[in-house]
């Protein structure tokens, strides 16, 4: 089916008190796994392409075209989002390429500079109806301000949204990027306070390290967009390792990549069941 917009998916999820899973595309097989997993789950998803992914592939356009083709071939409602872009020119390129949402990550900048640059991107994006996500401070795991114990202040978050006009805000409430164990402890009271203070949808990064019951609790407290990557990559890599160990003479990369893709698709189905399965029918 044609790509849907992230704004549409976020609006519907928020209205129904559900979460919206945003899952990272690393390569073609991961895009295919997300699409299959979403079809199996019967839930929508956001296909995310990060700045790191762009650097890996050497350019945005080829991997974006691949993700778009996969989405348009799928029966699941899927949107295309640029994740964690610190490069303003990359954000502008994503808008030109037809992404329906972008995340500008100015969290490492001084507050005033983050506000000014984010506000400028919002102004430019609005001409094309593109939703802009931003981050206040840094989510843990990226060598930045949000080390364990650091949290987003609701008052500052409200000021940031008012000053920039962003349409979604990533906040620090206890999660951390690249966690390989589900041991993160979310501050659900803070999630509720942020949801009350900020008019736009809240975004949880680093969700791979969050236990399922905490994720559903966060969604119930007001979190909407839930980003997941490491959990999916782990399942893909584990299946590839297992397939190669089964047959040391295997040389056809399609066979072990297919195993990784199938395992990741099943993991996507489980993740979507947790994130989008709760809420109002």
Pairing of strands 78-85, 45-50: parallel
> What CATH number is given to the structural domain containing 49?
3.20.20.70
Domain span at 189: 6-276
Q: Report yes or no on 281 lying in a domain.
A: no
pLDDT along the chain (281 residues), means of 10: 96 96 98 98 98 98 98 98 97 98 92 94 97 76 48 91 97 62 70 96 85 89 94 96 97 98 98 80 42
- Answer whether residue 1 is part of any domain: no
pLDDT at position 1 is 87
Q: Indicate whether 198 belongs to any domain.
A: yes
What does the alpha-carbon distance between residue 8 and residue 167 come to, in Å, rounded to a whole number?
Answer: 12
Give me the catalytic one of 83, 87, 105, 128: 83
Respond yes or no: is residue 83 known to be catalytic.
yes
| Predicted pLDDT of residue 226 | 95
Counting the structural domains of the chain, the total is 1
Helix axes 28-41, 230-246, angle to 10 degrees: 110
173: its two tokens:
């409430």
Residue 266 lies in a domain: yes
171 lies in some domain: yes
Q: Is residue 75, in this structure, part of any structural domain at all? A: yes
What pLDDT shows up at residue 62? 98
Give me the pLDDT at residue 179, please: 46
Whether residue 229 lies inside any domain: the answer is: yes
């Amino acid at each position: 089916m044609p790509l849907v917009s992230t704004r549409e998916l976020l609006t519907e999820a928020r209205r129904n008190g559900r979460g919206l899973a945003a899952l990272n595309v690393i390569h073609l097989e991961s895009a295919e796994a997300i699409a299959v997993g979403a079809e199996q789950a019967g839930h929508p998803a956001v296909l995310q392409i990060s700045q790191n992914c762009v650097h890996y592939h050497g350019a945005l356009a080829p991997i974006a075209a691949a993700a778009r083709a996969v989405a348009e071939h799928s029966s699941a409602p899927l949107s295309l989002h640029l994740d964690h872009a610190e490069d303003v020119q990359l954000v502008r390129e994503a808008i030109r390429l037809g992404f329906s949402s972008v995340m500008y990550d100015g969290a490492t900048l001084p507050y005033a500079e983050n506000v000014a640059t984010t506000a400028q991107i919002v102004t430019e994006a609005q001409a094309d109806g593109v939703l802009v996500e931003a981050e206040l401070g840094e989510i843990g795991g990226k060598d930045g301000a949000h080390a364990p114990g650091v949290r987003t202040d609701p008052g500052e978050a409200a000021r940031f949204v008012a000053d920039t006009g962003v349409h979604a805000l990533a906040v620090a409430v206890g999660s951390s990027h690249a966690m390989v164990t589900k041991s993160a402890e979310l501050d659900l009271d803070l999630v509720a306070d942020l949801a009350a203070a900020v008019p736009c949808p809240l975004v949880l990064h680093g969700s791979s390290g969050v236990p399922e019951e905490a994720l559903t609790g966060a969604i119930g407290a007001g979190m909407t967009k839930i980003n997941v990557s490491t959990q999916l990559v782990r399942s893909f890599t584990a299946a590839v390792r297992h397939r190669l160990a089964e047959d040391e003479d295997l040389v056809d990369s399609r066979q072990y990549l297919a195993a990784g893709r199938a395992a990741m698709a099943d993991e996507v189905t489980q993740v979507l069941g947790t994130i989008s399965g709760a809420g109002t029918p």
